[in-house]
Chain A
Amino acid sequence: MHSSEWSLLFFTLIGQFSAGLTTALLIYTIITPRRNDNAQASFLKVGLLVATGAIGIALIISFLHLSAPLSSVFALTNLKSSWLSREILMVSAYAASIFATTLYWLFCKGKRSLLIPLLAISSLLGLTMVLTMAKLYMIETIPVWNTPGTLIAFYVNTILLGSSFASVLFYNSHKDNLDKNVERVFVFVIITILAVKFISGLVGWDTTTNENIAFAGGMYHPIWDALSWAWLLGLGMLIRRVFPNPRDSDTGIRFYLLAFVFFVIAEFAARVIFYSSYFRIGL
């Protein structure tokens, strides 16, 4: 993996996390009855601030990849054919949208009339941003990236990190009056997306090509392979939460937090492997 790609790794991981968290907040807002209590207000406030902060950090990190960042003012001038140009447009649009949503929630004193439309727009922009992120890597000359596996991996990361972080926040803000149905929805979403991740891994996307390859993919340390399976530990934490030990008391936050940490480790390692696997056809 080239040293200049670390910034891309963090940018994609954090940006996708932000989009996933926004989508989780939207789902929460839709499925929970409006109560205007502190728990709901606090959950949404912290969630929106984290989503906005994350995309802000991702944006700053993305500039570290550029050798001449001042020329990025031209970055939207090839929307017609460049997926990178489209990605930059979508990242900017999503960042502006989630920032506006956060401002609305912070300054409109709990009025929820516009919250769902604003979150829906932000979520749609965020998920479209993830699509453009994936498509820019799916280049004809890079067979190892030019598979549906790239698209699936990026959406898995989005939903997995977003919903697992949302479940930590949810438990923390609602622990005094836990809505089991909402908790079940988050756990169901996480387990479903883990199933998609596992099946996608089993498929083993065909990256063979009849083209000449002069330089094979880069090598990575086997430790990344091992760490990419950390999601199994995260799944174990969730199962432990769903089937609690009767002798334990109030262990929910610990299990959700550990699950999120294991998912972050797994996705980080998977992304290192992704960037390390780069090779292109020809020279």
Chain B
Amino acid sequence: MAKQWAFYFDSSQCSGCKTCQIACKDKQDHAVGLRWRNVYEVAGGHWEAKGDSNWESGIESYNISMSCNHCEDPICMKNCPNGAIYKNEEGIVLIDADRCMGCKYCQWACPYGALHLNKQTGKMTKCDLCIDYLAEGKQPSCVAACPMRVLKVGELSELRSEFDDWENIYPLPSAHITKPSLVIKAKEAAKKEMNWKIINREEVRDA
């Protein structure tokens, strides 16, 4: 089987500091508003009245650090009319900027919000897994910068065998749609049915 790079993310330990987000922007020298990695803050639950004046918190929260998952069956690549999106021999999904016409069709379709328009160039951009760093034997900037060590990168099959994987964590879609190369350790609370919501919507929205 061909090599498939993948991310491992431990949501149960992520503090939501967004160092991964900043490290990515710094490495890629992105303009204001362009982020290949976002940290989504998820919260759910409610306060329950206990007696006349006491309230008990049933609020739960967790964070999801998300960029391109270099899917095994990338919906962006399937839909791109220009054939500008391709997978290299190591399973990394890349964009050939010369071929991209900026139609944003890939952005519509991707259920991980991984594709972003670079307004300066008019081309779509996305996480390239710091392919230059990988070639030098270094880790992607987001992984290397994470102070909690909750992000890892590695061979998909090895990460799957090493870590328990919980696919159905809000707000991720079912894995069968694009087969993301992503292994997630979820916080126990995240496995519960709750009224989960993203609470930093304005922050993660493309500027």
Contact = CB atoms under 8 A, between A and B. Distances in A.
Are these two chains actual partners, yes or no?
Answer: yes
B101 A85 contact: no
A84 to B, nearest CB: 4
Interface string A206-217: 000001111100
B197 to A, nearest CB: 8
B101 A140 contact: no
A47 B196 CA distance: 55
A81 interface: yes
A282 B112 contact: yes
Interface of A: 4, 65-72, 74-78, 81-85, 88, 136, 139-142, 211-215, 278, 280-283
Contacts of B15: none
A72 B101 contact: yes
Contact of A282 (B81, B113, B119): B113
A190 B40 CA distance: 49
Size range of the chain B interface in the assembly: 35 or more
Interface stretch (B19-27, B55-63, B103-111, B148-156): B103-111
Given A67-B122, A74-B84, A78-B81, A211 B174 contact: yes
B173 interface: yes
A200 to B, nearest CB: 23
B101 A68 contact: yes
A82 B110 contact: no
Given A81-B79, A88-B81, A282-B173, A68 B66 contact: no
B40 A142 contact: no
B81 A75 contact: yes
Nearest to B180: A282
Given A67-B117, A81-B79, A214-B198, A139 B84 contact: no
Which of B66, B79, B119 counts the most chain A CB atoms within 10 A? B79
A4 B198 CA distance: 25
B173 A281 contact: yes
Given A71-B99, A212-B172, A281-B173, A142 B104 contact: no
Contacts of B79: 81-84, 139
A280 B99 contact: no
Closest 9 CB pairs of A and B: A67-B102, A282-B111, A67-B122, A214-B171, A282-B173, A85-B81, A71-B101, A74-B82, A283-B113
Given A278-B108, A281-B173, A75 B82 contact: yes
B70 to A, nearest CB: 15
B146 interface: no
B78 A82 contact: yes
Contact of B81 (A4, A65, A84, A278): A84
A68 B100 CA distance: 7
B75 A74 contact: no
Contacts of B172: 212, 282-283
B101 A74 contact: yes
Contacts of B110: 141
B123 A67 contact: yes
B3 interface: no
A280 B83 CA distance: 23
Interface string B4-44: 00000000000000000000000000000000000010000
Given A68-B101, A71-B100, A74-B83, A142 B173 contact: no
Interface string B102-146: 111100111111000101011100000000000000000000000
B101 A75 contact: yes
A142 B109 contact: yes
A209 to B, nearest CB: 9
Contact of B83 (A4, A69, A78, A214): A78
A126 to B, nearest CB: 20
A213 B42 CA distance: 12
Nearest to A140: B177
B108 A4 contact: no
A283 B66 CA distance: 9
Interface in B71-107: 75, 78-84, 98-105
Nearest to A210: B174
A77 B108 contact: no
B201 interface: yes
Contacts of B83: 74, 77-78
Nearest to A81: B78
